[in-house]
Structure 1
Amino acid sequence: MSDYESATEADTAAVMAGPKITLDELATELSAIDLRLRQLARAAEVPEHPVELADAIDTLRSTAVRVRETSEHMGTLARIIAGEVPLVTTFPTGAPWGVPARDTDRPDFGGPAIVPTIWQLLKLAQDAKRPGVSETTTYPEAMDGIGIGWESKAASARRRRERDAAVAVEVLLLLCATCEASDGQQCKTKTGWVTDKPHVGRQRQAEANVDERLGYLGDNPVAVPNART
């Protein structure tokens, strides 16, 4: 487990009923957090010992506002995902999204927007309400068949950090063929200076060991058949 993730952070079972969290669950959990923050702010007005907590109270209340806004967005997205909210078929630039965006390109935006962001979906829903809009779609229609094997940017980045942290540990377990640094020792230069950067061979072997163990393929955190557990 990496330094970026504690055991309690990884225990997500408490906030979702199924294998993956729903937007409705996100909205509900965030609403509960909003309420708890406001309760804490109110309680902090009369602390047990005389200390002025005005700044902390303001922080709690302002954080609660942001959490409440996010909760409301998740609630709206839940209705969008369910197909209850009409969406325009293209962005204001005319670029398609979802299934129609396949095999298209947006060089100025880093490729096609097949999987829309939260803000894009909210904008698509807002634009569908404009007078004169004749063609609309729904999220289930536009995203039919998309999502298999998809991983969010945040999840991919976290898994990359976990992999890099594991490689850093693995490097020190290997004997370096170049400088003969052994278990627990960092590599050294020809003149004996210790270096934070291991020799290429040692680094590559550590990466190969970790990638096989975690089930990574090259630079992408994807499943490798028959990976060791």
Structure 2
Amino acid sequence: MKIISYGNYLELILPDRPTLRGENKRCEKRSRNKLKGEQRTDNIWRSKWKFIRTVRGNFKENFTAMVTLSYKREFQTTDIKRVNKDFSNFIGKLRLNKTCKWIRVLEFTNSVPQYLHVHMLINSLIDLNTLENKWTKGKVHVQRICTQRHLENITRYLHKQFDDSRLSGKRKFASSESVEKPIEIVGKSAEYLYQKYCLDSRKPIKNSSYMSKFNGMVKCRSYFIRSSTKNK
């Protein structure tokens, strides 16, 4: 049994078949040459779910904005390292306080040729003039997120970029140090939480599933736990 905790959520992970210790590494070693140059579906799904959980656990509607940073013609690039460096410099110039949270994703434009730009979710509503003054490479677009559904739609749009083969082998997203990472809980600790919050009878707020090469069909059940209850 595995439970993942993030924000006010607990997620119960139920695979069709459990993975024995070391099994993934042995399978990956045997198939490494065969899969070289191809996207590993399991890795992409893990990245997507990690991103979804991180957003759910840290960002709330009405307190979040999506900032898009694009490049002027003379600065347009497909160099991921360069874009990451430009973004790091931009964040440094903003001088955000330590409680400010952000998470960023790269995307190639739909135009031809296709160049990179940056999407960032941030929980601080910084005014447009400040952002434009700090991002000198091109345009800045700010979209305020007002509803939970809007945030979910934005999250879904952003993690679709993880399927892009040009980002294969690269970090799918980055975040500020203040962002709380999802915590995986297994063994007796997971069994304790399962019993404590009566997950066998509690109605999940969402059911989802995905196919894993190693675990078969993996079912995910998400539960909302009030912070006052969860911290006891």
TM-score by length of 1: 0.22
Ranked by relative contact order (alpha carbons within 8 Å, sequence separation 6 or more), the top structure is 2
Q: Which protein shows a greater Rg?
A: 1
- Which is strand-richer, 1 or 2? 2
TM-score by length of 2: 0.21
